[in-house]
């Protein structure tokens, strides 16, 4: 495993600055398709708790799917694609990218671009989801909006040129809605509407809010191990429910680190997964903080 010098916190992706002079909020407009989909999923998630949709098989299915698909966001989209905190073989990289797309948070290129923009302008005006614009904006409103200066593919792909050049990730990017529909059809084939309501609606609503809490809550509440230039915090209950992503101050101090939980009690199941992959020969070039890293507490 390699240590990370302080000057190499982000991969060399040459991000570009957004046009100055306007705020993200002022130039955004409501993305009605995304809004309708997300509202519909929430309605479906509520309905799933009523008969005949509420079955123990459907609940168990959701737990298993979340344990697997959730790693597509934390290990795949975030630590592998966005920060290149470790490397793996191309088929496995595509597998994690596809798993991430099943969470309907955007394709791998858009998700990576958004998160790199967040790190470039963390808790500044161009940060796409800083709580300095309010908790609701940071938690979910930002993703219901369309930013004409960022959201078209030819613009956001500039923040993820490494992925935009990769035909495999481009296929996953543009095939994301189809993958979700196919998954819903497979679930219906095996378990009817109860499997669809739980495996799609409940699971996605859960993973949405857990991911959004990383954007909102962990920039507002919690403790800090490192003095960073942003508002990032470590929040234990987000750390546990978001597969280690809630140790967010640690992450902002060392963005390229594959390990986010750095103190003994900061359990990080995504790091455990990467370490297991390494032991199986499936992960290599793993990045960790340099020896000079110091904590404030």
Residue 174 counted as domain residue: yes
Side-chain-side CA neighbours of residue 60 (13 Å)? 4
**Residue 30 φ then ψ, to 5°:** -65, 130
pTM above 0.95, yes or no: no
Cα dihedral 133, 137, 143, 145, rounded to 10, equals -70
92: three-class secondary structure by DSSP: helix
Domain tally for the chain? 1
| 55-110 tens-digit pLDDT | 999 999 999 999 999 999 999 999 999 999 999 999 999 999 999 999 999 999 99
Residue 263 lies in a domain: no
User: Can you tell me whether residue 254 is helix, strand or coil?
Assistant: coil
Please check whether residue 31 lies inside any domain of the structure: yes
11 vs 255: CA distance, rounded Å? 10
Share of the chain above pLDDT 70, in %: 90
Neighbours of 195 (CB within 10 A): 22
Contacts of 267 (CB under 8 A, 6+ apart): 239, 240, 244, 261
Q: Is the pLDDT of residue 256 over 60?
A: yes
289 sits in which H/E element: strand 287-289
- In-domain check, residue 255: no
Residue 220 lies in a domain: yes
Is the residue at 143 inside a domain?
Answer: yes
Provide the residue range defining the domain that includes 103. Answer: 25-227
CA distances for 122 relative to 49, 63, 125, 132, 269, angstroms: 38, 32, 8, 10, 25
DSSP H/E element including 288? strand 287-289
Nearest CA-CA partner of 117 in 16, 263, 249, 224 = 16
Is the model's pLDDT at 294 over the cut of 70? no
The pLDDT, as a whole number, for residue 94 is 98
In a domain, 44, yes or no: yes
Nearest-CA neighbor of 110 among 163, 61, 33, 36? 163
Measured in Å, how far apart are the chain's first and last C-alpha atoms? 26
pLDDT tens across 191-239, in order? 999 999 999 999 999 999 999 999 999 999 999 999 999 999 999 999 9
Taking residues 20-33, report their average pLDDT. 81
Buried b (16+ CB within 10 A) or exposed e, 152-164: eeeebbbbbbbbb
Name the pLDDT band for 24 (thresholds 50, 70, 90): confident
Q: What CA–CA distances, in Å, run from 240 to 77, 231, 245, 260?
A: 18, 20, 8, 12
Give domain status of residue 297, yes or no.
no
Angle at 109 between CA 187 and CA 290, to 5 degrees: 110
Residue 9, pLDDT above cutoff 90 = no
Instruction: Report whether pLDDT(128) > 80.
Output: yes
pLDDT at 166: 97
CA atoms within 13 A on the CB side of 147: 23
User: Above pLDDT 90, what percent of the chain?
Assistant: 87
């Amino acid at each position: 495993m390699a240590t990370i010098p302080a000057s190499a916190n982000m991969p060399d992706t040459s991000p570009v600055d957004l046009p100055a002079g306007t705020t993200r909020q002022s130039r955004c407009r409501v993305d009605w398709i995304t809004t309708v989909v997300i509202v519909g999923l929430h309605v479906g998630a509520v309905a799933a708790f009523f008969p005949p949709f509420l079955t123990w098989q459907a609940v168990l299915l959701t737990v298993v799917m979340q344990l697997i698909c959730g790693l597509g966001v934390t290990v795949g989209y975030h630590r592998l694609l966005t920060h290149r905190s470790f490397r793996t073989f191309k088929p496995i990289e595509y597998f994690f990218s596809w798993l991430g797309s099943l969470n309907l948070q955007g394709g791998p290129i858009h998700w990576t671009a958004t998160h790199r923009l967040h790190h470039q302008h963390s808790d500044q005006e161009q940060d796409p989801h800083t709580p300095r614009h309010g908790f609701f904006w940071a938690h979910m409103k930002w993703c219901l909006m369309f930013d004409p200066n960022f959201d078209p593919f030819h613009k956001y792909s500039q923040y993820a040129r490494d992925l935009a050049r990769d035909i495999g990730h481009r296929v996953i990017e543009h095939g994301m809605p189809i993958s979700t529909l196919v998954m819903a059809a497979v679930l219906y084939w095996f378990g009817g509407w109860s499997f669809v309501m739980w495996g799609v609606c409940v699971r996605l609503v859960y993973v949405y809010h857990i991911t959004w809490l990383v954007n909102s809550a962990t920039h507002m509440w919690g403790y800090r191990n490192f003095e960073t230039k942003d508002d990032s915090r470590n929040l234990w209950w987000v750390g546990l429910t978001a597969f280690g992503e809630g140790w967010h101050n640690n992450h902002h101090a060392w963005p390229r680190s594959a390990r986010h939980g750095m103190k003994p009690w900061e359990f990080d199941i995504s790091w455990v997964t990467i370490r297991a992959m390494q032991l199986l020969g499936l992960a290599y070039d793993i990045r960790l903080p340099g020896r000079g890293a110091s904590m404030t507490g």
